[in-house]
Chain A
Amino acid sequence: MTETRPASAVHTLARAVPSIALRVVAVDPGDAAELAREGLLPGSLVTVATRTPLGGPLVVNLGPARLALARALAGRIVVEPADTEPGA
């Protein structure tokens, strides 16, 4: 199975540290529709709440809502710290 690894400078949600405010920069086009239905779009502010063990899903806070995302899918969501300027 080949997997396109994002460059090391790019942070994905899968590797994010819990409780840090993050801004979504980009999502995989294949996941975009499904994520948009949950309100997770580029520009959304999120924090990782919990990481379940053994590569299980992540629980992400999106406003007052809590969203469970498969680890592989979270690995395709590019994020940046929310305190940086968008696009910086």
Chain B
Amino acid sequence: MTAALVAGARATAADADAALPVVALVGRPNVGKSTFLARASRRFVETANAPGTTVSLERRRIRSRGHDAWLVDLPGTRSLDDVPAGDDPFWTLLVEAAPDAILVVADASDLARHLPLVIACRDLGLPVVLAANLADEAERRGLTVDGGRLGQVLNVRAHVTCGREGVGVDAAVADAVRLAMIRREVRAGRRSPRSTVPANVYPFDVEQSLRRAGDALSSEPRSLGAAAVIDPLATAVIAGRISARGAASIRMAPVLDPYRWIAAASWAAEAEHRRDVPEPLADRLGRWTTSPWPGIPVFLGVSFAAFLAVTLTGGVLAGALGAAWTAIVSPFLGHVVPAVIPVPVVANAVLWSVDGGLLGMLSVGIPYVLTFYLLLAALEDSGYLTSAAVLMDRLFGLLGLPGRAAIPVLAAAGCNVPAIYGTRVLRTRRERVIGSFVVTLVPCSARSAVVIAAVAPYAGPAAALAAFGLVAGATVAAGFVANAIIPGRQMPLVLELAPLRLPIPRHVAAKAWWRFRGFVVTATPIMLVGSLVLGVVYEAGWWQAIAATIGPSVEWALGLPAIAGVAIVFAFLRKELALQLLIAFAAIQLGHATGLGELMTPPQLFVYAVVSSLSIPCIATMAALRGELGWRPAAGIALATISLALGVGAVLARLLGTA
């Protein structure tokens, strides 16, 4: 009864929600759209592009001058047929959002390059409102935009706005909501359409072919039959999700674009008033960051600072949180869990999970992941990432990666998981696959600790350094090979440099927190279950059976004792435990506590360190790979790392004479 009532109430609420007008927010990258959205909806939330096959559109319910409406945020795009995120062209996202009006956010400093998108949106037949945003930056460049004149020449409602200070944002949104409501009424037959005369952009013959293309698109299924290849544009037209002329204007973009750009240039000139001012500091700094001097030293400085910030802050925080946990929570759990679960083996396995697993989460998650996300958000919002991308493009081009891959690859030295999410800064799926592969091979802080602890005390610091060099060499070689064998080729760089801006702290914090929440939700269950499995295998003594099975192959291939193989396999669940596990296994097998030095010779330890650093990424990394790329690439990357680790290990073992 109550359930039925609740369901009923939900349905009514859903109906009311569906009846609200929808305004889509469209704009080129770097127009300050997310700040604009934050102002419009009074909330700072992550708005970065969501790559992958499922692109979720973020809808925000807003209240504008007494009217409720949905504001749908769309990824930054350069044209309607551009592919800004994942694999879908932008127009499919727009159609999915089913807007009643479009609010286009443009850069007031550069209207000539931003108005073509406005014209393209207007060709869709939807009401369009223009926000000439970043008016403050334009003013600093000596440019004033006449909003009234701009609206006149474009024949759309135009507002001059400044998202950072919130100037004009509410008025622009209110205008868009009003037009969206009118369109709803017209579609529902409650209001007669108001005819508008669009400004002339195309010559007569182009308009004619646009009409013919529209007719062809709306009749396509009849002429081709059901078995024919489905044209997504035609499908959208038939379903009534887009007008025939709108669909034709997307199809004919290559023909229409030159006219749009010419019209945009002359209209922009009509609405702009320029005066001579000295070059703003931000623009001068922007120029410097891409010139070899001082650009390259600045890049090295920023990279090193980022590396230090993540590893040092991470290390300090991890130590402090770990100490607090072992001092306060661990003893408590150590008392409670055995009291609740009377079977010692089960109780211990559960302790592995809730005590060890959560501790692992706490000492990796907050220190490394959150620190990195804060840094990444600040770098993204500052616009510096694109400068770094330009400087590093040549170098990373050898691996089939664009220069912007430098940031996630460096971050991987802290923790691979946020670095894999960080590969979202890459544009194509191919780049993300190669980038993620390279990231998983970069030793994270946990694996670096294993390499140092296994090699340095027994073979000296120079050997530890050599191990890192070897891992780095293998990583570069693997990236090189991946670039050669993964189908497709790297797109040549075409990138608009973002102007340098001071990040808004609240925005940075909100963005980092939003991503961090995603990490916690994904990784915590995996860490808990993984640790439980590890606990069961350990406490029940099953690892001995596994050692007996894989032992001979490990000895033959890598020249390592069987339990070293088991430790490498189970380090998949908790990478930072690769050494502790090994020592624990050895103690049980030998019947007394032992050191690594007694268990393996220095050359064997060297092989062990390199193999466990290169082999299969940890389970949290695997989950991140699967989430970002899907099962197949994730499995492919895992297999590739195992093969690489075994290959390098086997060669090393033979060179060092241990196998």
Contact = CB atoms under 8 A, between A and B. Distances in A.
The interface centre, meaning the residue of A53, A54, A56, A67 with most chain B CB atoms within 10 A of its CB, is A56
Interface stretch (B106-114, B505-513, B531-539): B106-114
A41 B493 contact: no
A56 B394 contact: yes
A36 interface: yes
A55 interface: yes
Contact of B292 (A35, A53, A55, A63): A53
B494 A50 contact: no
B113 A63 contact: yes
B391 interface: yes
Nearest to A55: B394
Contacts of B590: none
A68 B82 contact: no
A39 interface: yes
Interface in A14-71: 31-39, 41, 49-50, 52-57, 59, 62-70
A82 interface: no
B254 interface: yes
B494 A34 contact: yes
B104 to A, nearest CB: 15
B496 A38 contact: yes
B497 A52 contact: no
A10 interface: no
Contact of B493 (A39, A57, A65): A57
Interface in B284-335: 286-287, 290-292, 295
Contact of B290 (A59, A72, A73): A59
A67 B112 contact: no
B261 A68 contact: no
A50 B254 CA distance: 30
Contact of A50 (B110, B290, B393, B496): B290
B78 A38 contact: yes
B286 A37 contact: no
B488 interface: no
Interface in B258-305: 258, 261, 286-287, 290-292, 295
Contacts of A32: 254
Interface residues of A, number: 30
B110 A73 contact: no
Interface in B476-504: 491-497
A39 B261 contact: yes
Contacts of A73: 492-494
B386 interface: yes
B497 A59 contact: yes
Size bracket of the B interface: 20 to 34
Contact of B390 (A39, A62, A68): A68
B258 A41 contact: yes
A1 B493 CA distance: 20
B494 A38 contact: yes
Nearest to B257: A36
B290 A70 contact: no
B497 A56 contact: no
A20 to B, nearest CB: 17
A57 B390 contact: yes
A41 B393 contact: no
B79 A37 contact: yes
A73 B489 CA distance: 14
Nearest to B288: A50
Given A31-B492, A33-B254, A64-B141, A70 B393 contact: yes
A75 to B, nearest CB: 10
A37 B82 contact: yes
A38 B110 CA distance: 12
B116 interface: yes
A62 B110 CA distance: 10
Given A34-B494, A52-B292, A59 B110 contact: no
Contacts of A55: 394
Contacts of B394: 52, 54-57
A2 to B, nearest CB: 16
Contacts of B101: none
Contacts of B250: none
B113 A62 contact: yes
Contacts of A56: 390-391, 393-394
Interface in B66-109: 78-79, 82, 109
A81 B356 CA distance: 68
Given A52-B290, A57-B394, A59-B290, A68 B495 contact: yes
Given A52-B394, A56-B393, A68 B386 contact: yes
Contacts of B82: 37
A63 B112 contact: yes
B128 interface: no
Contact of B110 (A34, A57, A63, A72): A63
A68 B78 contact: no
A69 B113 contact: no
A57 B258 contact: no
B389 interface: yes
A73 B113 CA distance: 21
Contact of A65 (B113, B295, B494): B113
Given A36-B254, A52-B393, A62-B113, 7 more contacts: A39-B112, A49-B290, A64-B141, A67-B496, A68-B386, A68-B497, A73-B492
25 contacts: A32-B254, A36-B257, A37-B78, A37-B79, A38-B78, A39-B112, A39-B261, A49-B290, A52-B290, A52-B391, A56-B391, A57-B394, A57-B493, A63-B110, A64-B109, A65-B110, A65-B113, A66-B286, A66-B290, A66-B496, A67-B494, A68-B386, A68-B389, A70-B393, A72-B492
Interface of A: 31-39, 41, 49-50, 52-57, 59, 62-70, 72-73
